[in-house]
Amino acid sequence: MIEQKIIDKIIQSLPPIDQIISNYLTLKPKGDHMVGICPFHNGSVPTLMVYNNPGIYRCVECNRAGNILQFIMEHETLSFEQTLQLVIDKYQISLPDDWHDKEENNLSQPQKLIQLAEWCKNYFRNQLTDTDEGKSIALNYLTHRGIDIEAINSFQLGYCPKAHGEMTKQAQVEGATIEDLEQIGVTIRRDNWIRDRFESRVIFPIFNISGKTIGFGGRTMAENKEKKIAKYINSPETEIYHKSHVLYGLYQAKKEIINQQNCYIVEGYTDVISMHMAGVHNVVASAGTSLTMDQVRLLRRFTDTVTIIYDGDSAGIGAAIRGVELILQEGMFVKVVPLPEGEDPDSFARSNSQFKDYVQRNEKDFIEYASIARLNQTQNDPISRATAISEIVRLISIIPYLHLRMKYMRECSRLMQIREENLYLELRKFQEKHAEQLHKKSRNNPIPSHLEAMNLSQEVNPFDLEEQEILRFLLRYGPMDLMDENIEGTNRKRTLKVANYIFNELDADQLSSINPLYQKILDEYKAHLNEFNFEPNRYFIHHPDIHVSKFASKLLTNKYVESKMWVQQGNYIEHTEDILFTLIPKVVENYKLSRVRVMIKEKIKGLAMINNQTDFEKILELQQEIQNLKMIEKELSASLGQRTING
């Protein structure tokens, strides 16, 4: 177990939580916190709340919550120790060499594979820049293509030598296994031979959003078309590389995407690199695959505006339209930049010194551009015109947000010179068709009932809400002064803290929770209760037990708890700390009242289950206990201003 003081030092040495999370998605201010698109579920609206004080996050949709270490753990699929090591390395935090148990730092299989992919990337880079073969063949090829050293270093390009299996042999010398090399897709093994997948190719490493190598693309330098050598080959699907979830260049582009609030999408590796050299840095490519919904959702975390740059031919236009449908479904704004016929982003960026200006001048709203382009293709043929109008309306029908649909319908009506109500009739057809498809899907995949989905074997905690209230007050207000009390046997007084009062009351009635997580927090809190400068919110938010930390984060992001004591004449109390002396006793009394009422029900149930009516002694004992409990119930109810329940 890593010492808490080490964890505290690491967290205190980190930048504010919003700065770190901003490396993964766009955050925007909202009141006393920041909000963004949650990366842990397929959402399109900002449901992730990030609080710099006390350094926690929570998604109100999927209920993920925690501190910055939990965010990185979940996003990067790391262990707690690996997460600590990552932030220590990245933010250069100084710690003793023996800060953790080396045995706890065993890598998971995905982490082993990423580590091996990193080694392969460095091997390829070394082959490109430090070997005669690499410099004379691959480096010469790249510079001839106009790719400069700065771009080569920025995208960490490399070269795989032509000798059969050379990289695989060297990796084995360094301790890698053939099985792991096969798993990351760099080695191909057959019955009687082993080869490097990318031999004799320029290498384009593919990074995840955190900059870790997860795959590769390789381009041949051979121009002999008779051999039918594939120009590009990519890593196959592996445990660490899923091409439909990755965008080439996103790691290098994400900061500029956030700054510009726009992302350019192109097709290939060299398109991205050439645009970077031309000064356009907020660009990514869906290399190796058509644009997928997962890639669109990945972009949605950084911006709500996407600009597609496509080749100036019919195939490029068709690819653009296919990608646009997915982007529109996510409610994003879509623009296009059509290039001159015969050009692609790579060639046009290299040949045009004013490329950046050209892109900015020629950005067009996609619906507007497509409307004009499709109408121009109809050549006044009424059937073609009707088909074109229907296609544009179909695209508009995909948009999930009403205000955007209305905007585009007005624009479409103006450009196509057709009445808006006629367009809405066409729109309704597509919406009805979509609704019918959803209905069929729901019938084929029925949702299990609530009872079926529940885990009925779990013990239900009847005091869950009350115990959560007590824990929240302990974490948020525990160290604050509550009231003065007389010191027994003296004329002096001492100040009682909120936490001391709560624990005194719980101990007096020997109250504990059946929820092991709640009880663990209570036990640890009590153990640290009298420590100088104990900060319960920080302690539990940054607790090494991920379950404790996540629960504490959720509690502290719940600003209000729905219960009678929180409402006064229909208005929420905002300044809780001003009325703690009144509120805390009521919170504890409300908890006790709930416990008493459950005990009364259990005693009454026990009384009814006595089969032998001659067991008068047992009957009288239970009746007396019920009577005593009802007296306590009456006192607590009177104190809380509630009516007692008769029966």
Q: What is the pLDDT of residues 295-313, one digit of tens each?
A: 998 998 899 899 998 765 5
Q: What is the dihedral of CA 495, 497, 502, 504, to 10 degrees?
A: -40
Is residue 429 within 8 A of residue 393, CB to CB? The reply is no
> Tell me, what's the pLDDT at 99?
67
Q: Among 179-183, 261-265, 476-480, name the one with the lowest average pLDDT.
A: 476-480
pLDDT class of 153 with cuts at 50, 70, 90:
very high
Is residue 67 within 8 A of residue 55, CB to CB? The reply is yes
pLDDT class of 137 with cuts at 50, 70, 90:
very high
pLDDT class of 542 with cuts at 50, 70, 90:
confident
Give me the sign of the Cα torsion angle 352, 355, 357, 363: positive
330 class by beta-carbon count within 10 Å (0-12 exposed, 13-18 middle, 19+ buried) = buried
Residue of higher predicted confidence among 177 and 369: 177
- Closest among 249, 274, 277, 280 to 262, alpha carbons compared: 280
Half-sphere exposure at residue 554, Cβ-oriented, CA atoms within 13 angstroms: 15
Q: Tell whether the model's pLDDT for residue 105 goes beyond 80.
A: no
Is residue 567 within 8 A of residue 485, CB to CB? The reply is no
Round to whole Å and give the CA distance between 51 and 71.
13
> Tell me, what's the pLDDT at 537?
87
Could you tell me the two tokens for 320? 């653009």
> Tell me, what's the pLDDT at 104?
45
Could you tell me the two tokens for 607? 């009384």
Q: Tell whether the model's pLDDT for residue 19 goes beyond 60.
A: yes
Is residue 511 within 8 A of residue 592, CB to CB? The reply is yes
> Tell me, what's the pLDDT at 147?
94
Angle 402-416/382-398 helices, nearest 10 degrees? 160
> Tell me, what's the pLDDT at 320?
64
Q: What is the chain's mean pLDDT, rounded?
A: 83
Q: Among 126-130, 176-180, 331-335, 572-576, name the one with the lowest average pLDDT.
A: 572-576
Q: Tell whether the model's pLDDT for residue 277 goes beyond 60.
A: yes
Peptide bond before residue 54 is cis, with ω within 30 degrees of 0: yes
Q: Is this structure's pTM higher than 0.75?
A: no
> Tell me, what's the pLDDT at 439?
57
Half-sphere exposure at residue 224, Cβ-oriented, CA atoms within 13 angstroms: 3
> Tell me, what's the pLDDT at 182?
94
Residue of higher predicted confidence among 157 and 603: 157
- Closest among 367, 434, 441, 372 to 400, alpha carbons compared: 434
Q: How many CB atoms lie within 10 A of CB 162?
A: 12
pLDDT class of 315 with cuts at 50, 70, 90:
low
The mean pLDDT value for 598-622 works out to 77
Could you tell me the two tokens for 615? 């067991």
Angle 250-260/293-300 helices, nearest 10 degrees? 50
- Closest among 130, 273, 264, 127 to 202, alpha carbons compared: 127
Peptide bond before residue 479 is cis, with ω within 30 degrees of 0: no
